[in-house]
Amino acid sequence: MGTPLDRPFVAFAGGPTGHWEVTASATITGSPLPPVSRVDVHERVGLPGPDQAATWTLVGRVSNGRYTRRTELDALTAIQAPLGRRAASRAALIPIRKSPAWWALAQDERRAVLAERSQHISVGTRHAGTIARRLCHSRDLGGAFDFLTWFEFAPEQEPAFDELVAELRGSLEWSYVERESDIRLARRPSNRAA
Ligand code: HEM
């Protein structure tokens, strides 16, 4: 049986302080997030409140998979890079909201768009050995986004990450994305042990 720590709440707090320094920030679709210079990531067992010092706090929760088949999961699990690698000093926080048209689809139709027609899982799996990731769901928490996606990689992997993101953004799945920001980050060396 799972514990609450298997599916923690994760708060991404953007503001003047934090362990991750913003190196670039772009609004891909929809309304922008207010610009910030730092981001902090907090894991909690219970639902976190807003960080008072932060400009914005985005809260999501690690959840169960919805669309991944056993064979895909096994292939992914065999190679997936873990979070927190020392060499992975770059990160991306990409919050995403999908449209009412997406949520009006049935589960099997969403799977067909995401996996079969957009190849999200197979395209992503090509990068999973070098790019660590965490998918947080926030739709049911009533946030401004449906998903808070977080990726960690070494600086030399950023061009490959950019290619991956461009490939996904050109897919049918992304025609259902109505709000997306892309915040790139570098871990602050002095705060690594903090
Ligand atoms: C690094 C390689 C990647 C891999 C291996 C990967 C893999 C996956 C998998 C397996 C799922 C389905 C989870 C489920 O069964 O519910 C998923 C969902 C998702 N991924 Fe990725 N992904 C990658 C990169 C990305 C990138 C770069 C983005 C954003 C630009 C992204 C955004 C999302 C979102 C928003 C979902 C949730 C979709 C939904 O439930 O509608 N992924 N990913």
Q: What residue ranges do the domains of the chain occupy?
A: 4-48+56-189
Nearest protein CA to atom 31 of ligand 1, as residue: 149
The 10s digit of each residue's pLDDT in 72-88 is 999 999 999 999 999 99
In order of 38, 42, 55, 86, 147, the CA distances from 188 in angstroms are: 10, 16, 19, 12, 25
> In this structure, what token pair is assigned to residue 135?
């998918």
Contacts of 57 (CB under 8 A, 6+ apart): 11, 12, 13, 14, 48, 50, 51
Ligand 1 centre distance from Cα of residue 120 (Å)? 7
Q: For residue 4, is pLDDT > 90?
A: no
Ligand 1 neighbourhood includes 89 CB (under 6 angstroms)? no
Q: Which of 71, 108, 133 to mutate to test the pocket of ligand 1 (most atoms within 8 A of CB)?
A: 133
Q: Whose CA is nearest to atom 6 of ligand 1?
A: 124
Question: Which tens digits make up the pLDDT trace of 128-183?
Answer: 999 999 999 999 999 999 999 999 999 999 999 999 999 999 999 999 999 999 99
Q: Is the CB of 94 under 6 A from ligand 1?
A: yes
d(CA 107, CA 2): 24
pLDDT per position as a tens digit, 15-32:
999 999 999 999 999 999
Please give the distance, rounded to the nearest whole angstrom, from the Cα atom of residue 67 to the centre of ligand 1.
Answer: 10
Q: The pTM is what?
A: 0.96
User: Does ligand 1 come within 6 angstroms of the Cβ of 28?
Assistant: no
Model pLDDT, residue 120: 98
- For 101-132, the pLDDT digits (tens) are 999 999 999 999 999 999 999 999 999 999 99
Top-tier CATH class for 4-48+56-189? alpha beta
Task: Please give the Cα distance from 94 to 166 (Å, whole number).
Answer: 13
How much distance in Å is there from the Cα of 177 to the middle of ligand 1? 13
